[in-house]
């Protein structure tokens, strides 16, 4: 009896093993894959090196984002860039595991340069999703990251000094007085000026232009996605935020669903741009859910961006999407966007350009 059932058992065992190894993926030859916002080629190479030698997607994303932090990609990732109104640089970062849906994030973190590693510590060693400010710094240092460290650089301080000399213009303040100075500021109507104009404007949908505040070189979040050899998906982000932001500001970088989102069943998305606007729409969650419903990455990306542009015609931003088939695409509005990809069919990282 046993010999008769042996072939059946072997078939079952082989089938089960195949499913475990491939997680139900039909063609594992398309993995691994690494995708990142912007031409952050060295960061993608670092992630690819990790995932290609067998590390999982989470570790690959950490390696890639860490490389970008060390390189200070475009001055908008890692220490030494994007000073706030006080001249200080702070860090926002996020890490998401698409297999478990766990998220770790830090926001407005001071004195610690390793944003993505701090986010991983939050995910691995707490039951929380996000830690912020000085308490995030204390936690990261207590868990072994180096610090406290001055995150400013000579370049960031020089940029800040020139901004101060220009009467702190442009800035992120609105409906305050004085208008053309560095403050201190007070609400406009508390001084008896223009009482009621703000409420009247908002009631008819008037929104201040933000084009002077947002651009490719002061909002370049790295948002990276990786699919490992087992078909698992992870995403991560790191940024030092908007240049001359109001101290305490948190953008979309550490917000799951806005700057990035991953789900093993579907794929992943990464975003970059005006985070204050984008986080109101959760574009990466939208992209992934659209792909879940069968939409291809190109259409899902365009749909998510168009929803924002409809409400904010001066908005600048972009998303990049990748599904479990390995198909990828980007969409943008207000600027020309580039994203980087490495997969098994490529000899090196390839940069794709997307027009608005």
Annotated catalytic residue: which of 37, 89, 90, 221?
Answer: 221
**Residue 283 in contact with residue 304, Cβ under 8 Å?**
yes
- Helix (H) or strand (E) run with residue 5 in it: helix 2-22
How do strand 328-333 and strand 337-342 relate by DSSP bridges?
Answer: unpaired
Residue where the block lists tokens 């574009």 = 283
Angle at 51 between CA 341 and CA 14, to 5 degrees: 115
Where do the H-state alpha helices sit in 166-292? 197-203, 275-278, 283-292
Other CB atoms within 10 Å distance of the CB of residue 239: 32
Is 336 assigned a catalytic role?
Answer: no
Q: Helices 115-125 and 133-142, interaxial angle, to 10°? A: 80
DSSP-derived letter for residue 256 is B
- For residues 45 and 40, what is the distance between their CA atoms, to the nearest angstrom? 9
> What residues act catalytically?
221
């Amino acid at each position: 009896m046993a010999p008769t059932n042996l072939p059946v058992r072997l078939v079952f065992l082989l089938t089960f093993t195949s499913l475990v190894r491939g997680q139900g993926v039909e063609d594992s030859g398309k993995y691994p894959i690494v995708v990142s916002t912007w031409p952050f080629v060295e960061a993608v190479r670092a992630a690819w090196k990790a995932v290609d030698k067998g590390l999982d997607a989470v570790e690959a994303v950490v390696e890639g984002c860490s490389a970008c932090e060390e390189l200070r990609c475009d001055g908008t990732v890692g220490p030494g860039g994007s000073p706030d109104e006080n001249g200080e640089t702070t860090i926002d970062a996020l890490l998401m595991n698409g297999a478990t849906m766990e998220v770790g994030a830090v926001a407005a973190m001071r004195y610690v340069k390793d944003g993505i590693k701090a986010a991983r510590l939050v995910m691995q060693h707490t039951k929380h999703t996000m830690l912020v400010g000085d308490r995030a710094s204390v936690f990261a240092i207590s868990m072994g990251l180096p610090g406290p460290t001055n995150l400013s650089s000579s370049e960031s301080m020089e940029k800040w000094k020139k901004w101060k000399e220009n009467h702190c213009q442009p800035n992120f303040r609105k409906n305050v007085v004085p208008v053309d100075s560095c403050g201190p500021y007070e609400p406009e109507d508390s001084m008896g000026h223009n009482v009621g104009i703000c409420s009247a404007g908002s009631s008819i949908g008037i929104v201040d232009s933000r084009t002077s505040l947002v651009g490719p070189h002061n909002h370049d979040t790295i948002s990276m996605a990786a699919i490992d050899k087992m078909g698992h998906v992870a995403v991560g982000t790191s940024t030092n935020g908007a240049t001359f932001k109001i101290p305490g500001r948190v953008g979309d970088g550490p917000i799951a669903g806005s700057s990035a989102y991953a789900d093993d069943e579907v794929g992943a998305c990464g975003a970059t741009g005006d985070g204050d606007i984008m986080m109101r729409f959760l574009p990466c969650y939208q992209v992934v859910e659209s792909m879940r419903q069968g939409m291809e990455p190109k259409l899902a990306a365009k749909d998510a961006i168009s929803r924002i542009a409809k409400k904010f015609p001066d908005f600048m931003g972009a998303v990049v999407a990748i599904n479990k088939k390995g198909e990828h695409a980007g969409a943008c509005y207000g600027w020309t966007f580039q994203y980087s990809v490495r997969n098994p069919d490529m000899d090196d990282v390839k940069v794709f350009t997307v027009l608005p």
